[in-house]
Amino acid sequence: MHNFKELKVWQKSRTLTKEIHLLTKRFPSDERFVLTSQIRRSVISISSNIAEGSGRDSNKEFKRFLSISLSSAFELETQIILANDLEYLSDAEFLKVSEKIQEVQKMIFGFRKSLSSLNKSVKFIMSLFM
């Protein structure tokens, strides 16, 4: 089990959630139940799935939740692109938040990969003693 609050990827995704909420506050009110809501659900899903996965019994289960988290990050990126297309974000805001989203995506991908490597190492070591 991992302490999710100590994971840098969770900390970054939590910071991203706050930033996204502040950005979407300025979206048109008629988007409140459409794009704004979807963007907020996506960004919340990133840190939530990291936290949920960290409490699972195995790295295999944790990796599954990291995959869900990564999918939510890609969903968020798509929605931010659409928000920029609709001119709800300035180009500078779009670039800044896109970089942060991509950083979180890379961190999740790397963390998930490291859990796979860890599982392979443990299996190899166990095979030496059996």
Q: What is the pLDDT of residue 129?
A: 47
**CA 105 from centre of chain:** 6
Sign of CA dihedral 101, 103, 106, 110: negative
* Pick from 120, 1, 122: nearest CA to 58: 1
Render the burial of 91-127: b for 16+ CB within 10 Å, e for the rest: eebbeebbebbeebbebbeebbeebeeeeeeeeeeee
Q: What is the pLDDT of residue 118?
A: 59
Low-confidence ranges of the chain (pLDDT < 50): 121-122, 124-130
**First CA to last CA across the chain, in angstroms?**
25
Q: What is the 3-state secondary structure (H, E, C) of 28-58?
A: CHHHCCCHHHHHHHHHHHHHHHHHHHHCCCC
Architecture of domain 4-128 in CATH?
Up-down Bundle (1.20)
Q: What is the pLDDT of residue 120?
A: 53
* Residue 27 neighbours by CB under 8 Å, 6+ apart: 35, 36, 83, 88
**CB-based contact 111:66 (threshold 8 Å):** yes
Q: What is the pLDDT of residue 125?
A: 43
